[in-house]
Chain A
Amino acid sequence: MEVALEDNNLMEKVVLTPDEQEMDVELEAKEKKYLRGEGANLETLKDKKLKTQLASREKLYGKSAKAAAKIEKWLLPASAGYLETDGLEKTWRIKQTDIAKEVDILSSRNQYDIVLPDFGPYKLDFTASGRHMLAGGRKGHLALVDMMNMNLIKEIQVRETVRDVAFLHNDQFFAAAQKKYAYIYGRDGTELHCLKERGPVARLRFLKNHFLLASVNKIGQLHYQDVTYGDMVASIRTGKGRTDVMEVNPYNGVVALGHSGGTVTMWKPTSQAPLVQMQCHPGPVSSLAFHPNGHLMATSGKERKVKIWDLRKFEEVQTIHGFHAKTLSFSQKGLLAAGTGSFVQVLGDSSGAYSRYMSHSMVKGYQIEKVMFRPYEDVLGIGHSMGWSSVLIPGSGEPNFDSWVANPFETSKQRREKEVHLLLDKLPPETIMLDPSKIGAMRPSRRKEKPTRGEVEAEKEVAIEAAKSVEMKKKTKGRNKPSKRTKKKKELVENVKRTFPEQEHSAAGKKRRIGGEDDAAAELPACLKRFARTN
C-alpha cells in the first residue's frame, strides 16, 4: 500500500506504487531519446566560469527532455496501430480481407487495387507527408494522385519509357526518368526542364534537406544536381558498371548503390571515391533499403537471402533465408516489406530480430515492381505490372505528425510558407557525411604525442614481420634460384627498415649530447670553447 510519511524535520518520504514506478521508468526511457546522447563531462574542465555556464545549460537540456517525454506520454493525439493475435493464430496468416472486416470505414478505404494493364509495371513515390502519390508506368503513364480523397490530380502520357519517378520537395514538382533523359514536370503536367547532362537515367532520388536530385544512369555515373538553381554539383564515375539499385539514407543523406558484383558503395557529392564499400552478397545486389534511424540497412541478393546490416559497425546483424526480394522498403516504425514475384512479405522486429509479421499475395500474374510504405499511415503501396495496389499493415506508420515537419492536411498557404522555410534551411552539399552529428562538434586537439621509442620499435618489428611473411611468387624457367630469393627477401626487409631511420639518428644524437659534455665542447669552434657548458 502506498504510505506517505512526513518527517518532523524537512523531508517528505513518499513511497511510490508499482504503477507509478513503472511510469517513472517509462518516462526515463523516453527522456533518453530526447536527450540525444550523453551529457558533456564537466569534471575535466578547469575554467570555473565555463563550468558553471555549461552546468546550467545541461540542466536546461534535462528539463526540456523531461517536458518532451511528458508531452509524448500524455499530449499526443493518436497512438500507433497494432495487430495482435490470441492463441495459435499467427499474424502472417491473416489476410487483408480479414482485416477489412475489423477496421473502420476510413481505413478500409485504403485497401484497393487499381488495374491498369496496358501501361506496364508501375513505380511509386510518395511526398514526405504521405498525402500525394506519383505513379509512373513503364510505358509512359504518369499519374499524380491525392491520397486523402483519391483524386487524380493530373495524369499525362509521355509516350516514352519511364524508368523511375520521384517527387521533388513537395507535390508541385516531380521528376521522371525517361528513355533518353530525365525530365522535371510541374504539378499541372507541364514539362519544366529536360535534364540532358545526365544521360539515360535508371534511378532518381531526391535528397530533401539538400535539394539535390541524385540519379544513376545506364553507364553507372552518379549525378547530383541542385534543383534550386540548376547547378550540377557533382558527376561521379563510379567505375563499377551499370546498376539500377540506388537508395538514399534519410539519416545522413548518403547515396548507396548496389552493384552487380555484390558490393554496396556509399557516396557523397564532394568526393570522387566512395565513402564505404561493403561486400554484401556473392552475386548481384537486387535491392536496398534504409531504416529511417540510419543505423540499419537491408539488402537482398539473387541468392535468395535478405541481409540486415548495422551501419555503425558495418557488420551483418541478421540473414533471412528463403526469398529474393526484388524490392525492399522500411516503414517509419521499422517494419520491412519485401516484394518478390507477386508476393509481399512484411517483417517486424518486435522480438529483437526481424521475423515474419504479415504477408500479402497478389494475383499470380501481377509482378511486383516496387513496394513503398506511405508515411504517417498504416498503408503499404505496391506498384506492379498491372497497376498499383494498397494494403493495410497495422503498426507501420508514425501516428503523430508534426505540422512543422510534414503536414498531410496542409493548406496552400502553409505549403508556400513551408517551401520558403525549406529553402532557407537548405544544407550545402558538404554537410553530407556518414556521421551527421559531427557538425558543430569540436575537432579533437591535434597534440598527438610523438610515439615513444618503445612504440616505434614495436611498430618496426611488426613491419619487419609483415615483410618477412610476404609470399614470394614462384618463378619458373630457371629464374627461381635460392640465392636470388634470399636476396629479394633481404631487400624487402631493408626497405621496411629504411622507413624508420630518423628515430635512430635523432635518438643516437641525443644520447651523444647527454652522455658526453666533452663531445659537446669538442664540437664548438675554438674561440667559444670557454663558453662550453660545464656541470
Chain B
Amino acid sequence: MRIKTISRSVDEFTRERSQDLQRVFHNFDPSLRPMEKAVEYQRALTAAKLEKIFARPFVGAMDGHRDGISCMAKNPNYLKGIFSASMDGDIRLWDIATRRTVCQFPGHQGAVRGLTVSTDGNVLVSCGIDSTVRLWNVPRPSLEDSDLSSEKSAEPSAVYVCKNALLAVDHQFEGELFATSGAQIDIWNHNRSQPVHSFKPGNDSVISVRFNPGEPDILAVSSNDRRMIIYDIRMSSAAREIRMQTKTNSIAWNPMEPMNFTGANEDGNCYSFDGRKNEEAKCVHKDHVSAVMDIDFSPTGREFVTGSYDRSVRIFPYNGGHSREIYHTKRMQRVFCVKYSSDATYVISGSDDTNLRLWKAKASEQLGVILPREQKKHEYNEAVKNRYKHLPEIKRIVRHRHLPKPIYKAIAESRAVNNAKKRKDDRRKASSAPGTIVTKPLRTRRIINEREVE
C-alpha cells in the first residue's frame, strides 16, 4: 500500500523572524476562484468610480501677462520652463514648478505672433506684427534663480526687420535654420540678417509654419486661402498641397510617426493626414463646437491636445475620432495656444484672459513618487477598467464629463442639425435610383482638392 497525505510544516509556510517578509504562495487554478468574472466586474466598477473621485486636473494658473496670450514655446532641453508671449509684446519665461516668471524679454512693439526655441535651447526666436524677428539668448537656469524676487530681463541678441507683419515662426529640428511666415515664407539662418530662401505660396498670408521632426528639411504651412502646403526647403517650390473647405489654424507633426500631421481647422474638427497620401484624411477628430485654434502632440505620439475658440481644451487620441478628455473653467476664455509638456504629464493652455493654465494630462493621475505596489495597483485598475468599459454601467461612469452650458447646448444643436441633414440625405438616397447619390465619407468631404506640385 502506498499512501501519501498532505502535511504542511509550519516552518515552511511562515516567516522565521519578524524582520523577514511574509511568505506568499500562488496557485493560479481557476477552480479556487469561483465567480471571478463578477469580482472583476465589481473591481472595474470601483476603479471607474475611484478614477472620477480622484480626477483633479487643474494644477495651477500662471498670471503675470497684461494682455491675452498669443503663443507659447517649449524648451526641448529644460523641462521646467515654458515661454509665452502676449498680445502687447510681452515675452516671459516661466518656471512651471513655482509658477513664476523667471525672465522677461521686452522689446516687441505690438502683438508677438510667433515664438520658438532652437533645438539646443540657447536661442529664443520671436516674431510679431511689428515686422521684426528678434533673437534672444536664453539665460541658463542656475542656483541664483531660486531667489524668487528677482525677475531678470534680457536684451535681444539680434533684431531683423522685414517688410510685412509676421504671423508665425518655427525652428528646424536638427539644424540652424528657422522659418517665419507672413505674406510669404522666409527661411533664415541665425547669423544672416536677410532670409536665405523665400517661398511665396499665393496672394494670401501664411498663418502657421511647422518643421517636420523626422526630416529636418520638410516644412508644413497653412495659409489663409484654406490650403495646407508641404515644402521641401531644398527645392524651390512646394511639394504637395491640400485645399480644404475651411482654413487650418495650426498644424502639428506626430513626433513618433513623422509622416503624419494633424491640422486644427476653423470648422471645429482636426484632420490627420498621412503626408505621403493626401487624398483623404486618415482620421477626423470631431468634438469641438467652435474653431480649433492650436494643436500640439504629446511626445509619446499617442495623443494630442487642442485648444479652441469655444473656451475648452480637449485631449484626443491620435487615431480616435472623439476626445478622451475636456478641460474647462469659468475663468478661462478663448484658448489661443496649447502645449503638451515634454514629459507627457502636463498640458499648458494660454488663453485670452491673460493666464497660462497648467493641467494634468491624465486627470486622476497621482503625481510625485509612487511606490511599486501603488503603481501595480494603478495599472491593474486601469487594465480591469479597460476590459469592461464597453458595458453600460461602467461606460456611463467613464464617459461622464461636465460640460459648460454653452458647449452642451451647441453640441445638442449641432446633433439635431446633423440628424436632420442625415435623414434628408437618407430619404433622398432611398427614393433615387441606387448608385446615383454617393455619400462621400467625412475624411474626403472637406477636401476640395489636393495636388502634387512638380
Interface residues of A (CB under 8 A from B): 33-34, 36, 49, 68, 71-72, 76-86, 89, 94, 98-99, 102-104, 106-107, 148, 209, 250-253, 292-294, 376-378, 392, 394, 397-409, 411, 414, 424-428, 431, 436-437, 439-440, 442
Contacts and interface: CB of A to CB of B under 8 A. Distances in A.
Contact of B27 (A76, A94, A294): A76
B39 A403 contact: no
Given A250-B34, A436-B37, A394 B5 contact: yes
B26 interface: yes
Given A400-B25, A403-B24, A426-B42, A252 B35 contact: yes
Interface residues of B, number: 40
A498 B390 CA distance: 44
Nearest to B25: A403
* 7 closest Cβ pairs, A-B complex: A106-B7, A402-B27, A378-B5, A431-B38, A81-B5, A107-B5, A400-B27
Interface stretch (B10-18, B161-169, B248-256): B10-18
Contacts of A400: 25, 27
Given A209-B38, A427-B39, A71 B5 contact: no
A440 B41 contact: yes
Contact of A81 (B6, B25, B26, B41): B6
A439 B41 contact: yes
19 contacts: A34-B30, A49-B319, A82-B4, A84-B3, A85-B1, A102-B3, A103-B7, A104-B7, A209-B35, A394-B3, A402-B26, A405-B33, A407-B25, A409-B10, A424-B43, A425-B43, A427-B42, A431-B41, A440-B41
Given A71-B26, A82-B3, A394-B4, 13 more contacts: A49-B319, A68-B28, A72-B27, A78-B8, A81-B3, A83-B3, A84-B2, A209-B34, A209-B35, A251-B35, A407-B25, A409-B14, A439-B38
Contact of B6 (A80, A407, A431): A80
Nearest to B388: A440
A401 B2 CA distance: 24
B147 interface: no
Nearest to B9: A106
A446 to B, nearest CB: 15
Given A431-B38, A439-B37, A440-B391, A107 B25 contact: no
B2 A82 contact: yes
Given A78-B8, A409-B13, A72 B3 contact: no
Nearest to A393: B5
B438 interface: no
A436 B34 CA distance: 9
A280 to B, nearest CB: 23
B35 A427 contact: yes
Nearest to A148: B10
Contacts of A98: 1
A99 B3 CA distance: 8
Contact of A405 (B2, B32, B388): B32
Contact of B37 (A107, A411, A440): A440
B379 to A, nearest CB: 14
A68 B33 CA distance: 15
A408 B12 CA distance: 12
A16 to B, nearest CB: 26
Nearest to A104: B7
A407 B32 CA distance: 12
Which of B5, B22, B27: most chain A CB closer than 10 A? B5
Interface string B32-54: 11110111111100100000000
Contacts of A414: 22
Given A34-B28, A400-B25, A431 B35 contact: yes
B149 interface: no
B176 to A, nearest CB: 41
Nearest to B387: A440
Nearest to B44: A440
B25 A402 contact: yes
A135 to B, nearest CB: 22
A78 B6 CA distance: 8
A232 to B, nearest CB: 22
B343 interface: no
A80 B42 CA distance: 33
A436 B38 contact: yes
B139 to A, nearest CB: 47
Contacts of A437: 37
Which of B2, B9, B32: most chain A CB closer than 10 A? B32
Contacts of B387: 440
A84 B1 contact: yes
B4 to A, nearest CB: 5
B20 interface: no
Contacts of B23: 403
B31 interface: yes
A85 B28 CA distance: 32
Given A292-B31, A409-B14, A437-B37, A376 B6 contact: yes
A363 to B, nearest CB: 24
Contacts of B24: 403-404
B3 A398 contact: no
A71 B28 contact: yes
A86 B1 contact: yes
B29 interface: yes
Contact of A427 (B1, B3, B38): B38
B31 A293 contact: yes
Contacts of B6: 78, 80-81, 107, 376-378, 397, 399
